Structure 1
């Protein structure tokens, strides 16, 4: 989750909260994902990838099982 952490912590607190809201979650939940306390669901992963302009990818967010969920992403 280091990529997500670096991306999010570079934002101001207001931007963090707005980013989380645009992703369909709360900043509290996003913070839990950043620190490995929660696993992001598939929809959240896609939203984060899209709204971060590809800086944080689904592969970053689900390194152990992304290929099972999104096989079309390839290797």
Structure 2
């Protein structure tokens, strides 16, 4: 599976299903199929809030993990 599909599945498991994840994001569940490779930038913070998955795991290109010194 692709990392995008894995991320959506993980998020869905956390919140109790794909439908609940879509509802929480204010989208129809079919919209996940249009995401292709990345969670859209405008959905990252809501996805994080709903699932608890850190934003740097969702979109490391936008939210790089801080270097631990």
TM score, norm. by length of structure 2: 0.58
- Verify: 1:7 aligned to 2:6, yes or no: no
Structure 2 runs not aligned, ≥5 long: none
Asked whether 1:23 is paired with 2:25, we answer: yes
Q: Would you say how many aligned residue pairs link Structure 1 and Structure 2? A: 61
Gaps of 5+ in 1: 68-73
Q: CA RMSD in A?
A: 2.7
Deviating above 4 A after TM superposition, structure 1's stretches of 4 or more consecutive aligned residues are none
TM-score relative to the length of structure 1: 0.55
Residue in 2 that maps onto 1:65: 62
